[in-house]
Amino acid sequence: MPTVATFPSIRTEIGGVAVTELAKQYGTPTYVYDAAKIIERLNDLRAFDAIRYAQKANSNLTVVDLVRQHGAVVDSVSAGEIHRAFAAGFKPGGEPPAIVYTADIFDKDSLDLVVKHDIHVNCGSPNMIDQLGEVAPGRNITLRINPGFGHGHSQKTNTGGDQSKHGIWHEQLDDCLRRVDRHGVCVSGLHMHIGSGTDLEHLAQVCGSMEQAALEVGRTITSISAGGGLPIAYKEDESFIDIEQYFGLWDTTRKKLEEEFGHKISLEIEPGRYIAAESGYLIAEIRAVKTMGDNKFYVVDAGFNNLARPIMYGSYHPISIAPSSGELDRPMHDVVVGGPLCESGDIFTQEEGGFVAKRSLPVANLGDYLVIECAGAYGFVMSSNYNSKPMAAEVLVKDGAAHLVRERQSYEDLLRGESIPK
Ligand SMILES: Cc1ncc(COP(=O)(O)O)c(C=O)c1O
């Protein structure tokens, strides 16, 4: 892997398939995932004993199946994600457990499912220990500890510290161990996830907290999870994370615990973004080019109903143009990219706080395609039907061939389940 990211301003193909062909065959907006990128990113992480894919980042069945075929296990944060894991071929049980349910609560469906299928639970609240212990005593569980600090690419993705609802507060471990004893369950694992899209500096701080918590729990611990949070490079010249260095930090912590406890400790990692983000492209068509005072706008047929990260977090995504015809060599100019929604915040080139930003992009015409890159994580999964827009199609490109892996929603799908009382 090169040390810094580069992105093209003109993109003609994805995984060997022409963008124009993809757009013509599947329509726009469409998400396209490049299987080779997902496999490459999984391979980066092989030093860890288990790669537990956080399917919340991209839970398309084909993606979940792909990571399963390449040796990953899976994290599910809801009953729906447990059903997805089953549908993608994961079976409960195994060592490491093929499916782990990680949450701060049980709703009725999730509690029923984990009990019925003996799914390993990562408890994010003391109440979960009681609720599981009452109906399924004697189980092995993992505790998700909030180490008292956190960090994410945005305050909204910071999952540690006292502003966060996630995990068991580190000072309440002793209370949790009493609950564990009361229900005859066993803490076999510890997990810490301080935020999504954080950085190595903050991730490194977690190792010390994990060591301390594991020593407090004692010899029942057989696995530790570093959580997810690995960042990716979304901007030109941003550095890729040094995975070897990161693994080294955790391996040292693991070895210290192995020495202390006298048995093997399995080391898990739980990334979502790192595995899925770079594989994904959202293809849209430019439907209007207009000038508002000093600003030129490309208005495309994808909006924040398809990709919410810019409006949610002010996130930056690389953008390229795929000319539908004519010259590939286009001059650059500054533009704002917006979507079709009846909402002024429907802008892909915005900064946190909603400030519209200009982007240098190739000159493009109506009918050219615009490709929003690094959109494979927290893209489609966060989409909505706002403005009664059907959800986009999803396509997987593998070995130079494209496969439709989710149909575009129809207008019948949009109205399904609704009725007018007589
Ligand atoms: C419990 C848990 N694990 C893993 C992840 C994956 O995070 P990321 O996609 O940043 O790797 C998340 C997301 O915040 C999470 O909440």
Same domain, 298 and 208: no
Q: How far is the CA of 159 from the centre of ligand 1 (A)?
A: 9
Same domain, 344 and 256: no
- Nearest residue CA, atom 5 of ligand 1? 228
Same domain, 135 and 261: yes
Last residue of a domain, one of 232, 249, 270: 270
Residue for token pair 């080391």 = 267
Same domain, 110 and 127: yes
Same domain, 171 and 193: yes
Same domain, 287 and 260: no
Query: Which residue out of 44, 52, 55, 56 has the highest number of ligand 1 atoms within 8 Å of its CB and is therefore the one to mutate?
Result: 56
Count structural domains, the chain. 2
Same domain, 130 and 155: yes
Q: How far is the CA of 361 from the centre of ligand 1 (A)?
A: 32
Q: How far is the CA of 81 from the centre of ligand 1 (A)?
A: 14
Instruction: Return the pLDDT at 199.
Output: 81
At 356, which CATH number?
A: 2.40.37.10
Instruction: Return the pLDDT at 149.
Output: 83
Ligand 1 site, CB within 6 A: 54, 56-57, 75, 102, 159, 193, 196-197, 227-230, 270-274, 377
Residue 342 annotated in active site: yes
- Asked if residue 344 is part of any domain, the answer here is yes
Across the strands, what pairs with 247? Answer: none
Question: What averages of pLDDT result for each successive group of 10 residues across the chain (422 residues)?
Answer: 89 98 98 98 98 98 98 98 98 96 98 98 98 96 94 83 91 96 97 84 89 97 96 94 94 97 98 98 98 97 98 97 93 98 97 93 97 98 98 98 98 98 96
Q: What gap in Å lies between CA 75 and CA 103, rounded to an integer?
A: 10
Same domain, 59 and 208: yes
Same domain, 294 and 193: no
Give this prediction's pTM.
0.97
Q: What gap in Å lies between CA 48 and CA 325, rounded to an integer?
A: 46
Nearest alpha-carbon partner for 227 in 342, 147, 287 = 147
Same domain, 295 and 251: no
Domain extent for 115:
46-270
Q: What gap in Å lies between CA 200 and CA 251, rounded to an integer?
A: 15
Q: How far is the CA of 340 from the centre of ligand 1 (A)?
A: 30
Instruction: Return the pLDDT at 2.
Output: 67
Same domain, 290 and 160: no
> What is the three-class DSSP state of 179?
helix
Q: What gap in Å lies between CA 304 and CA 382, rounded to an integer?
A: 9
Q: What gap in Å lies between CA 207 and CA 257, rounded to an integer?
A: 11
- Asked if residue 50 is part of any domain, the answer here is yes
Same domain, 64 and 212: yes
What is the identity of the amino acid at 344?
S
Last residue of a domain, one of 229, 255, 270: 270
Ligand 1 atom closest to the CA of 75, numbered from 1: 3
Last residue of a domain, one of 221, 249, 270: 270
